Structures are given as structure tokens and as C-alpha cells.
Structure 1
Amino acid sequence: MQVWVESSGGPLVLVAEKALNEWTGADGDDYDSACTVDDLGVIRFGTGEQGLVLWDEPARTTYFQGLRIFVQWVYADPSCDVEQAVSWLGDVAWEQGPTMDVGGPMVLLDAAAPGGEIQINQVRGAMDGEAISVEIEPGRYRVDSGETRPDERTCFRCYRLVAVS
């Protein structure tokens, strides 16, 4: 079962699971910092931890580990097989994005939510959750972004992780 995260109106943020309690969300300055990012960016929070901010839209987002890609639902038929739709991304004009260091398990959550109060991988309804755990091999990654439109009724915003040295 693929769990999706949807924000309450602002961006989503990817943070290290070990630093989750440092993310203050709207209870502190972290949400405001995340909202300054237009599309995609890395911000610092807490004791210098990195947070990857994804698109300042409340778009449902999930992570496909095998593809190493985050997918945001822009528009599509509700019955769309998302993994099939994004499995071949040859038509995507990728824009190179920021780099981020990953040291272990990560969590994708609504940037407004304080990290210490979220429920990870808890489905609220219609396969949507407040936050999802994301397994990424430790390393340094560039995060590229682009859109795929497999047909005229389907569009997904994609963020791929590209290992860099």
C-alpha cells in the first residue's frame, strides 16, 4: 500500500528521522523558513540539520523507493496507476536542484506540523498520512525536479535523487 502525505496548505519537508524532534513546524520558525522556498530547496533548522522543502503546494506526495523518486499528484484520474505512470520518465526535462546529505532514515511531513507530534505511516483516510518514513541510502544527493505528463489528463511533479560524490 502506497501512503501519501498531504499538507494543510503549505510545503512538505523531508528531515532526518533522528532530527524529527528538532523540527518545530508552525510552533516555531521552521514553517516560516520552509515557506520562503519557492519550489525546491534545502533549509537549516534545529542544531544545523538539513530539511528538503518540496513545492509550496498542498499536493499529495509519496516516495517510490525503487525509483528513488518523490511524486506529487498535480492532476490525474483517481484510478490512475501512479507507479506505472512514472515508471518511465524519458520525457521529463529535469531541472538540477540543490544537494543534500542523507545519513539514514528520513521522514516526509507537512512543514507546519511539529516533528515531535506527528504520526509516521498512520493512514488517516484514502491512503493519506500525516508523515511517511523514507528509506534512502546514506550519501550526498542532488535533487532534480520535473513534470511528467503521460497523457493529456495526467500530470505528476517528480523529484529524483541523484547520488553525487
Structure 2
Amino acid sequence: MASYADPSSDERVEQVEWAESGGGPLIAIPEVVLPFWSGADGDELASDYDRACEVDGLIGLLPVGNTTALVLGDEPAATAYLPEHGTFVRWSAGESERELPAGVPAALATAAWGREVHWQVPGTVVLFDAAWPGSGATRAGHLRIALEPGRYAVRAAHGEPGPETWIGLVQLRPLGR
């Protein structure tokens, strides 16, 4: 987990935690099935990581254990979760950590959303590099996100909240419980 807060700034900035990838997709897996994710390891012809890399587009769902995981595809961008917006924010370009969350409301309002998927979540999920096995995902470089159990509509888009700022958005909207 990385933080990009500017320590030289006099302004008090709420610190946002970011998960990063070594080059492949990030994946949000329900905590209860983490042991079933083998990452790039495994004896299969195609590893779990290979399955995640095959997701075409910004988002996709993969079976893991008796539930599904959300793959954040497209590019291996540093990603934070902003619960006040129910949104994963993916850092494509920007001057500072501070300007990314500040631009999210404008980006959400003007986003051209792609296809929507429905994700059944049993509770808390862990976001991490899909190459790691689930058993090691909580050691470092992960985000633990407390979600209410239920169905979520998930949609994704790219946003440009400023002239030099580009972000990816993956929004989770609760559906009827």
C-alpha cells in the first residue's frame, strides 16, 4: 500500500491509500475466498493471474471459490477506494495525490460509462495485484475495503477532471438487497 501525500506541504491533506500492481491487473476478491486465489502460481495450464489478464476492458468478473472477484483491467494504474463516492479511482496522470480525489465529483458527473456488470459481494473485499496468491495478499500492497453484503452494479469510465489529470473510475452502486 502506497501513499503519495506531499510531506512538504503546509496544508493538511487527508491521506489516501493506494494499491499498486507490478504490471498486470488489480483484483478485488471477497476476503472469505482469498485462500482460493493462486495468483501467478499454480499447477493449472492457465493460472488465476492468466485468467485475470484475459479480462477484456475496464472491468470483469471471475469466479473464485463460491463467489466472484472484480478485475480492474485496462492498465496497471495505482488505485484507491473512495467510500464517499463508492468508487475505485485509478491514477493515470496527475500532478499530485491531492488533486485526484478533489476531481472525482466532476469526473463522476461527466463520465461516459461503459457496460455495467452485477457483482454479488458477501462482505469485505481485498484489492491487490492479481499476480499474488490470495494467502499473501494481506501482507503488503493491498487495500481492505469494507462493503455491505449484497448485489452491486459496477460500471467503469475514464475521466479528465483537469487539463493534466486523467483518472479511471470504477463505481459500485448497491442494488436492492
TM bracket, shorter-chain basis: 0.7 to 0.9
Q: For residue 2 of structure 1, what is the amino acid of its counterpart?
A: V
Shift of 1:136: 1.3
1:106 counterpart (105, 118, 125): 125
Contact 1:24–1:114 (CA<8 Å) still a contact in 2? Answer: yes
Aligned length: 156
- Report if aligned partners of 2:159, 2:169 keep a CA contact under 8 Å in 1: yes
Larger strand percent? 1
Aligned to 2:105: 87
**SS state of the match for residue 23, structure 2?**
coil
Matched, 1:115 2:160: no
Q: Does 1:36 align with 2:54?
A: yes
Quick one: which of 54, 69, 75 aligns to 2:87?
69
Q: Which residue of 2 aligns with 1:154?
A: 165
Unaligned stretches of 5+ residues in structure 2: 1-14
Shift of residue 79, structure 1, vs aligned partner: 5.0
| CA deviation after TM superposition for structure 1 residue 164, in Å | 2.2
Q: Distance in 2 between matches of 1:102 and 1:24?
A: 20
Per-residue deviation at 1:48? Answer: 3.1
Q: Where has structure 1 moved over 4 Å in runs of 4 or more?
A: none
Query: What's the TM-score, normalizing by structure 2?
Result: 0.82
Give the drift of 1:78. Answer: 2.7
Structure 1 unmatched runs, 5+: 123-129
- Taking every aligned residue pair, what percent have the same amino acid on both sides? 36
Please state how far the C-alpha of 1:33 moved relative to its aligned partner: 0.7
- Could you tell me how far apart the structure 1 residues matched to 2:138 and 2:121 are? 22
Hey, what's the Cα distance between the residues in 2 that align with 1:158 and 1:82?
11
Partner SS state of residue 25, structure 1: coil
Q: Structure 1 length normalisation: TM-score?
A: 0.88
- Counterpart check, 1:7 vs 2:21: yes
Displacement, 1:23? 0.9
- Residue 161 of structure 2 corresponds to residue 141 of structure 1: no
**Is this contact kept in 2: 1:65–1:135, CA < 8 A?**
no
